């Protein structure tokens, strides 16, 4: 075990990370700096201050990072239409790089030589925190208590608290699930979900009503895009995190954004997770719609071909990497003309595109596309040569008896 | 204009292709063979016989290709989770290669030297028909009347009918849309849809009720998969086209599968189309679910990375090509272990996965994935080395000041 | 045939394009502007002036574009390590976009409504010229005489000259090959090369000695790179085109850069071509070497995975397209740290890397890579966990009996 | 440390693996089975028997795997034109999966519960051995002594030998390099190569003469291909490993196949290696040539786009994986028509293609490609429409002012 003088801990204020504070002090005989961020998880962060103080922490960082989170992480990711394994909108993955960055920045500010987090050794989050940490401060030491200690059950954690005088809140109605939340989503794992054949319980979900319980009348919204990002809803200009707050609200109210999947973790196992991503689900649909009108075909297809790779990078924790940055550059650049409006109908779990327009940047050319007389905008005879030359190699192969 | 002796026409029995029969006879002074296929479009095909006879056609082919269509075209495509431009399930595209193949086979049987179709010079279907034709019979001549004649309005077509004694049915409630239908979907283009900002009218849709009008109670179904294909619904074994018929029925009744998009045609323009694909929408969701349990991660990601290319090939008309066949081989081979069951909840436009299981082929390993004590199935300490070596190149780069 | 007032012609001064000048005047009754560029083809361009004047041309553009050609087209392409079909360095392809651009710019300056070129209807160059033209001036009219006229043999061309008083130079030793040259390469097609089993004749090659005739002593050179481009040779700072001139000279003298391939044209046929690219062959090898030291692994692999697409775009004529520009942005951005020196040994056709170094940007970390004692720079035990987790999915699959 | 009863060791007979035999017996108190394979490394394998016996080994496997190695590993890989990072022909990588497989098969035969190898903790080979081992026998235990023991210098190894009575051969002229050899190549790392700016010494190379010392007269050879594999040289039918033996001989004699690169290891560091791959270098060139004549364009481009991924998989040790097998299926299938002959000229380091032909499977259509009168085989007018529709999206974008 290396010598550590000071460690910055990603601190939620909950039981696990409170135990970690004490365990770090005791095990490494070091100073602990706590860092608690409001990423829109929907819980107060300020109470973490008193808890940290009670544990003997001297340097306490509590920050509202919601705007930065959406502006610099969520929005760039949605420019790519990123989906992991055809389904997952990467809600947990996208928050980790920001936390990793703040951990390192605080380590630099406070002269700490280590960072620590409460993620287990089985999951993706440890990878995301630590790859970020190493990428941003190559010499940093990382302490992952769950991989080191032997407090591997709730009972042993409670016993530890008891022994060290750590106050344990008695929450009633504590969720049996392992959860993570931020402005983009809330996730659920564990408990009955460990059987992929078992349906999730209605009471598990927290951010959305079920489609059944959603209003019987649809809600229409209009999203305004500039360079691929939403800048206004129903004509009202909003900051990035306000956009997402608003879409979560209207999406959740209409039963939108629930997902139940089995996914492949970077560490090599499959796991089952349920996710609520109301605003993100709307954003994906809306973004595809505005791109469909304004993006060149081949640029769109290039983006589509790169998307699985890009999503995998974020899922696996390589946000802070040369390859993600290179792809981001291409993606951001592609959004230059992704400007305009999308009209959506939200109804009982459905996000339905009902209109899209772009005053200056639409590549939809009605006079060419029309089924009516087009005044020569398009010469149908051109298609004959187009097809003939596209077919030439096929015909030569066919003459050799290759096809059929 | 080359000399043509006999031409096989893809004949629907409608106004346009009836005019084409006559126009071919007159223009090319040739014999016309008609081919009419039941692909599940929902209209009787038998009446085409009398119409063709009335036009003087001697050789008339009328065939029920529904089983072949689903078994050899739709199912293979769904093994790939194919989606064009993030949204479109390729309903029209996938029927064309089968029609092209039958046109050529009939040409061979009847000693015809040409084939013909009623697709316009602006669309994708001409390309799909013709690439298929050339690939399967490289010396065939293709006649595309819409690119040759000057009957470019409904008025001129009617005048032509009048002059040539072609009977025109007076349908009431004729759709103002350009439509195409088969067992996989029905499509709508033109008319008010030519403005992408205008919402489609409720009365346009034919195969599905709206989510609003769907039942207030969900329907649960269970799909059984063998090698990536659905072989039973709710335990009842079905042929491929019976599967799709059944899923269309239950999907359409639950408001599932409507889509409204702007897409990029192969000929270079954007167009707006609306699609109803109730069964296909269910199939995509179900297939992803069974794959999530049974497919290896890297194989799944490889498939995802190839999918956009595969979908583009089908959209562009390259079904009958060496590259599509190569990809198909890989995709089909990947499905060896995609066996098991998926349970779905259908409700007002939503397809919700609520369970998936595979007796022999699940790669979900509960004893490894569990949040509980895992008896050493997984050694969390391994993660430290895993992360360290994944981070090594990032740390070296960071030491050079590259990141942040 | 549309009405044309003035057309800008890519004019070489040779027989074919001289005939085209006259044919355009006569056929379209229009004014002709000639444009002749020095791209380093190794022939004087100034004589084209008198010839054009003799044909009655009033507006004559003759330009030295060598620096621009290498700086803005050749160098950016080599940043990508672009190779078409594993072999071809795209020498002809990369010159066309620059010519297309100047044709359009001159058309704009001279108020011309059309452009014209001397490329045949079978090749790739027509596509490259015209796609560029349309992309840069969407309403331009393009005249491709070889697709329109009936002067399809040398005899008919000579007869045309005779009839119209066009002076024909009697060159002795006229090459029987169809050739194209610029600073990057010279190409040969046709004649005996039309049989892919026939070896090219030694006397065909113009820019390089054969390896057999190259000096018996190797030549060493040192290339200095900044952001992926060569800025100095043997310590001497040079402009881009001077770099290529110098490398062509030393490469050609050492028998470097001959290539004999069968390639796939965009129009659908295979063709056989021979190419001499002495400088380019050296540049490719050198660039790979400096990247090997300075580029991050995953960024390098991302570039490699995109390269075939990028090369195909250039080959097919899509230089002026959103997708090529997007890829270029990524590629250029990747070169930020590609700085340093490469030492090469040139000997009888071989380009051998013998050293590479980068003062500030090398990611080769000798203290980690060493076979000697590394003082803890790398902990070999980390590899165990790294391998274990990389193996996890394979082991789970193997337990299901999937592998072997 | 887990209990081990019997371990199968990849045993070369050299100092390191001899120490490992003893160390395993002593450390794990287990039985050791040795496995020594002739993969064409050019050293006798039979002497390993006496050495193993002297060390007290009871079960000794010595096998000639040369034919299997080339037939089932090298040839399949060359069907893909696999190159890692633009340069490396994967000579070491491709031998490891076969060794891993035999280790596991022998473990199964001898009832051993573990395997072991002599690869260090810094390199790729440990990964390749172990991923293979885990994939083929998921419960196997792997012992990697270099990651466990403290014998980290030649001195400590010699001291260990002295203490345990292991006889050490005194070779004169022992190479200072870390080397690996098999029929495909020989590799060199370490010593003066650890400075990437230092040129390799001429005396390092073992299998090839330098280009300078190669004959002054070229050697011509003719390769016959069936389904992408070489089956005959100069008309003489040969088994796979005989092909490679022959090509190594003629290649080495002509100074072909030396390579000096910096490469990126899977474990995250860059390393510098020199390789001699005479036969492989010829095979790559020849295979590209026969494919250029017989492979469809789009299938060839698909292969090219997948190649970097495929090469990376082999380099990283994922030969025994679902994704490599899926790609292999596609690649093998693509070779159905890759039949014919290639004629090569070998001269002082150069492999020059001078002819290729395929009686039945050539897609080179001389009557279409010709520069002479083609009798209507190709209608040049088709190109106009082909270009126009390829340009359509560019023109629409240009009208919006997007390009230039």
Which of C105, C150, C263, C308 would best serve as a mutation to test chain D binding (most D beta carbons within 10 A)?
Answer: C308
CB B373 within 8 A of CB A152: yes
d(CA A169, CA B155): 80
**Cβ-defined contact of C381 to D153 (cutoff 8 Å):** no
Backbone angles phi, psi at D164, to 5 degrees: -100, 10
Measured in angstroms, the CA of C47 and the nearest CA of chain D are apart by: 27
d(CA A95, CA A85): 19
d(CA A345, CA A298): 29
Active-site residue list of C: 16, 96, 125, 178
Residue (of A310, C291, C80) closest to D264 by Cα position: C291
Residue A339 structure tokens:
């400007």
B139, B145, B149, B152 alpha-carbon torsion, rounded to 10°: -150
Q: Which helix (H) or strand (E) holds D353?
A: strand D350-357
**Cβ-defined contact of D304 to C86 (cutoff 8 Å):** yes
Measured in angstroms, the CA of A147 and the nearest CA of chain B are apart by: 5
The ipTM estimated for the assembled molecules is 0.96
Q: Which residues of B touch C (CB under 8 A)?
A: 296-298, 337, 360-361, 363, 365, 368, 378-379, 381-386, 388-390, 392-393, 396-397, 400, 402
Ordered strands of the D114-116 beta sheet? D59-64, D31-38, D6-10, D114-116, D141-143
Please list every residue in chain C whose beta carbon sits closer than 8 Å to the beta carbon of residue B337: 400, 402
The pLDDT of residue A175: 82
Residue (of C348, B165, C12) closest to C21 by Cα position: C12
> Which of A385, A393, A402 lies closest to D383 in CB terms?
A385
Q: How many helices (H) and strands (E) does chain C have?
A: 14, 14
Please list every residue in chain C whose beta carbon sits closer than 8 Å to the beta carbon of residue D191: 371
Asked whether residue A229 is marked as a ligand-binding residue, the answer is: no
Return mean pLDDT, chain A.
95
Measured in angstroms, the CA of B299 and the nearest CA of chain C are apart by: 11
Q: Which residue, chain included where needed, has tokens 């039949």?
A: D339
Residue D49 structure tokens:
């028997």
The pLDDT of residue C174: 74
Q: Which residues of C touch B (CB under 8 A)?
A: 296-298, 337, 360-361, 363, 365, 368, 378-379, 381-386, 388-390, 392-393, 396-397, 400, 402
Residue (of C291, C280, C296, C353) closest to C93 by Cα position: C280
CB A381 within 8 A of CB D286: no
Ordered strands of the D229-233 beta sheet? D236-237, D229-233, D219-226, D340-347, D350-357
Q: Which helix (H) or strand (E) holds B54?
A: helix B47-54
Which of C82, C297, C377 would best serve as a mutation to test chain D binding (most D beta carbons within 10 A)?
Answer: C297
The pLDDT of residue D171: 66
For residue A394, the chain D residue with the least C-alpha distance is D296
**Cβ-defined contact of C388 to B386 (cutoff 8 Å):** yes
Please list every residue in chain C whose beta carbon sits closer than 8 Å to the beta carbon of residue A262: none
User: Cβ neighbours of residue C105 under 8 Å, at least 6 residues apart?
Assistant: none
The pLDDT of residue B356: 98
Please list every residue in chain B whose beta carbon sits closer than 8 Å to the beta carbon of residue A404: 101, 135-136, 320
| pLDDT tens-place string over residues A236-291 | 999 999 999 999 999 999 999 999 999 999 999 999 999 999 999 999 999 999 99
d(CA C6, CA C8): 7
**Cβ-defined contact of D268 to B327 (cutoff 8 Å):** no
Please list every residue in chain D whose beta carbon sits closer than 8 Å to the beta carbon of residue B301: 323
The pLDDT of residue B1: 61
Sequential pLDDT tens for chain D (404 residues): 679 999 999 999 999 999 999 999 999 999 999 999 999 999 899 999 999 999 999 999 999 999 999 999 999 999 999 999 999 999 999 999 999 999 999 999 999 999 999 999 999 999 999 999 999 999 999 999 999 999 988 889 999 999 999 988 776 667 899 999 999 999 999 999 999 999 999 999 999 999 999 999 999 999 999 999 999 999 999 999 999 999 999 999 999 999 999 999 999 999 999 999 999 999 999 999 999 999 999 999 999 999 999 999 999 999 999 999 999 999 999 999 999 999 999 999 999 999 999 999 999 988 888 877 787 789 999 999 999 999 999 999 999 988 75
Which DSSP letter does residue A80 get?
Answer: T
Q: Which chains touch B (3 or more CB pairs under 8 A)?
A: A, C, D
> Which of C101, C197, C304 lies closest to D85 in CB terms?
C304
Cα dihedral sign, A61-A62-A68-A74: positive
CB D89 within 8 A of CB D184: yes
| pLDDT tens-place string over residues A43-65 | 899 999 999 999 999 999 999 99
Residue (of D217, D197, D213) closest to D205 by Cα position: D213
Q: Please give the model's pTM, rounded to 2 decimal places.
A: 0.97
**Cβ-defined contact of B329 to D333 (cutoff 8 Å):** yes
Which DSSP letter does residue D93 get?
Answer: G
Q: Which helix (H) or strand (E) holds A220?
A: strand A219-226
CB B330 within 8 A of CB D330: yes
> Where do the domains of chain C lie, and which CATH numbers do they carry?
6-69+90-164 (3.40.50.620), 178-295+337-357 (3.90.1260.10), 375-399 (no CATH)
What residues of chain B score a pLDDT lower than 50? none
Measured in angstroms, the CA of D382 and the nearest CA of chain B are apart by: 14
Higher pLDDT, A1 or B134: B134
CB A93 within 8 A of CB A128: yes
| pLDDT tens-place string over residues A171-186 | 666 789 999 999 999 9
**Cβ-defined contact of B320 to A394 (cutoff 8 Å):** yes
Q: Which chains touch D (3 or more CB pairs under 8 A)?
A: A, B, C
Q: Any catalytic annotation for residue B16?
A: yes
| pLDDT tens-place string over residues B93-118 | 999 999 999 999 999 999 999 999 99
- CB atoms inside a 10 Å sphere around CB A98: 20
| pLDDT tens-place string over residues C241-295 | 999 999 999 999 999 999 999 999 999 999 999 999 999 999 999 999 999 999 9
Instruction: Please count the residue pairs, one from chain A and one from chain D, whose beta carbons lie less than 8 angstroms apart.
Output: 64
Helix axes B15-28, B154-164, angle to 10 degrees: 60
Asked whether residue D14 is marked as a ligand-binding residue, the answer is: yes
Which of D148, D297, D330 would best serve as a mutation to test chain B binding (most B beta carbons within 10 A)?
Answer: D330
Q: Check pLDDT > 90 for residue A376.
A: no
For residue D360, the chain A residue with the least C-alpha distance is A400
């Amino acid at each position: 075990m290396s010598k550590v003088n000071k460690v910055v801990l990603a601190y939620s204020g909950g039981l696990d990370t409170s135990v970690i504070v004490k365990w770090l002090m005791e095990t490494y005989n070091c100073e602990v700096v706590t860092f608690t961020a409001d990423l829109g998880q929907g819980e107060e962060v300020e109470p973490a201050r008193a808890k940290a103080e009670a544990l003997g922490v001297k340097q306490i960082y509590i920050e509202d990072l919601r705007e930065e989170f959406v502006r610099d992480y969520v929005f760039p990711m949605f420019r790519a239409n990123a989906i992991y394994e055809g389904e997952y909108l990467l809600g947990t993955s996208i928050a980790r790089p920001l936390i990793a960055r703040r951990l390192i920045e605080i380590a630099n500010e406070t002269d700490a030589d280590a960072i620590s987090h409460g993620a287990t050794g089985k999951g993706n989050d440890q990878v995301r925190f630590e790859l970020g940490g190493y990428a941003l401060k190559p010499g940093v030491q990382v302490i992952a208590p769950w991989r080191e200690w032997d407090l591997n059950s709730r009972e042993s954690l409670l016993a530890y608290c008891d022994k060290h005088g750590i106050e344990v809140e008695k929450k009633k109605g504590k969720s049996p699930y392992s959860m993570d939340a931020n402005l983009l989503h809330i996730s659920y794992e564990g408990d009955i979900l460990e059987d992929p054949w078992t349906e999730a319980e209605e009471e598990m979900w927290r951010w959305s009503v079920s489609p059944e319980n959603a209003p019987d009348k649809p809600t229409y919204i209009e999203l305004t895009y500039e360079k691929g990002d939403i800048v206004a809803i129903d004509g009202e200009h909003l900051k990035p995190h306000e956009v997402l707050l608003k879409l979560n609200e209207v999406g959740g109210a209409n039963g939108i954004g629930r997902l139940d999947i089995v996914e492949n973790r970077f560490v090599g196992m499959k796991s089952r997770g349920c996710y609520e991503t109301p605003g993100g689900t709307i954003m994906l649909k809306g973004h595809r719609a505005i791109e469909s009108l304004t993006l060149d075909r081949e640029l769109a297809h290039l983006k589509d071909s790169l998307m699985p790779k890009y999503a995998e990078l974020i899922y696996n924790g390589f946000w802070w990497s040369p390859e993600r940055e290179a792809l981001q550059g291409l993606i951001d650049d592609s959004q230059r003309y992704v400007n305009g409006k999308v009209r959506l109908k939200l109804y009982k779990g459905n996000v339905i595109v009902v209109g899209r327009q772009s005053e200056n940047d639409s590549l939809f050319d009605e006079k060419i596309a029309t089924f009516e007389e087009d005044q020569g905008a398009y010469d149908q005879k051109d298609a004959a040569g187009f097809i003939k030359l596209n077919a030439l190699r096929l015909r030569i192969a066919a003459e050799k008896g290759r096809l059929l």
